Amino acid sequence: MTTTRNRRRTFPWQVMLTTAVAALAAMPAPAAAQAAANDEVTFTRDIAPILQRSCQKCHQPNSLAPMSLIDYEEVRPWARAIKLRTGLRDKPGVMPPWYIEKDIGIQRFKDDPSLSDEEVALIARWADNGAPRGNPADLPPPVPFIDVDQWEIGQPDLIVSSPSFDVAGDAPDWWGSIGEVPTGLTEDRYVAAMEYKEITESSVGETRNTVGGLFVVHHATLGVTDPNPDENEDDPLAAQRRWPTHEVGRNADVFDPEAGKIMKAGSKLQFNSMHLHANGADTRAHLDVGFKFHPRGYKPTRKWVRMSFGNGVDLDI
């Protein structure tokens, strides 16, 4: 029982008091009522901060999850589903979708959104108790969401737009190439960070309120041509290999500062492997790819190498 308490408020004497009073079950005990009231898990005080930290990046109107989890009214109908999904821990379907086991391997990750055992238990207790709202005064201020038009990497030095594509509201999924676009670079530059944005140019009809409902690109792989391969390199085509893929909901990619990725003068971006899907509306869209460069004169001190091992699913890296 004690593990189901919020750590902040777990005082041994409180546990003992509650247990002791519970043992005198039949007696009306004002002290017990008082303890229970203080101890009630509420949305405003206990649950909202968890949702802000670990859920709202996706569960908000402009993101990819199927429903928004910001206001109590939005969250309340999902209380039981939230208990179920957060309780899955490292199993498929867990929320937040973070499958790192808690008892083996590396545990410290940047921006780790996963929940502690105490938080999972707190959510379960809240749901089992009828998901009470609590005191509105306890509600933390809302977290600001990054504007969808804003670049996480900061204003890019170069933005390359893919060719536009049309996806009818009821079209079947489509895989293929939409062609290539010159980067316009007249000198070699090293890329420090990059980011994709799907831009809707027009949308006619109702988009579906489902995963990816705001988007028509499921994923896109990017090729960067190398018009001038360095034959002395171990891997002469290293410059054009292995650029990050775009997927719905993907964060920006920031490369190791010592291993900037070269993009050469006269190169082109190739959008050779797209997966498009209908979102209910007749949609015309394109991808914008933003690049941040290292300063001119930068030279990497580390090399990119290709390594293949495992299958990427069974590994905790």
Q: What residues line the site for ligand HEC (CB under 6 A)?
A: 54-55, 57-59, 64-66, 78, 81-82, 85-86, 93, 95-97, 113, 115, 211, 249
In the complex, the smallest distance separating the C-beta of residue 124 from ligand HEC, rounded to whole angstroms, is 12
CA distances, 191 to each of 157, 202, 276, 299 (Å): 10, 31, 27, 11
Radius of gyration of the chain (CA): 25
In the complex, the smallest distance separating the C-beta of residue 59 from ligand HEC, rounded to whole angstroms, is 5
Residue 163 or 249: which CB sits closer to ligand HEC?
Answer: 249
In the complex, the smallest distance separating the C-beta of residue 182 from ligand HEC, rounded to whole angstroms, is 34
Angstrom distance (rounded) from CA 151 to CA 157: 11
Residue 82 or 263: which CB sits closer to ligand HEC?
Answer: 82
Residue 161 or 210: which CB sits closer to ligand HEC?
Answer: 210
Angstrom distance (rounded) from CA 195 to CA 151: 7
In the complex, the smallest distance separating the C-beta of residue 121 from ligand HEC, rounded to whole angstroms, is 13
Angstrom distance (rounded) from CA 221 to CA 214: 20
Residue 96 or 280: which CB sits closer to ligand HEC?
Answer: 96
Q: Which residue has the tokens 């775009």?
A: 246
Residue 95 or 222: which CB sits closer to ligand HEC?
Answer: 95
Residue 81 or 204: which CB sits closer to ligand HEC?
Answer: 81
Residue 49 or 169: which CB sits closer to ligand HEC?
Answer: 49
CB 182 within 8 A of CB 289: no
CB 163 within 8 A of CB 286: yes
Bond into 96 cis (ω within 30): yes
Tokens representing residue 196 in the block:
């994709």
In the complex, the smallest distance separating the C-beta of residue 112 from ligand HEC, rounded to whole angstroms, is 11
Tokens representing residue 116 in the block:
């502690």
Cβ count near 118 (within 10 Å): 15
Q: Is 263 helix (H, G, I), strand (E, B) or coil?
A: strand
In the complex, the smallest distance separating the C-beta of residue 243 from ligand HEC, rounded to whole angstroms, is 22
- The dihedral region occupied by 310, where left means phi > 0, alpha psi between -120 and 50, and beta the remainder, is left
In the complex, the smallest distance separating the C-beta of residue 50 from ligand HEC, rounded to whole angstroms, is 6
Angstrom distance (rounded) from CA 276 to CA 212: 11
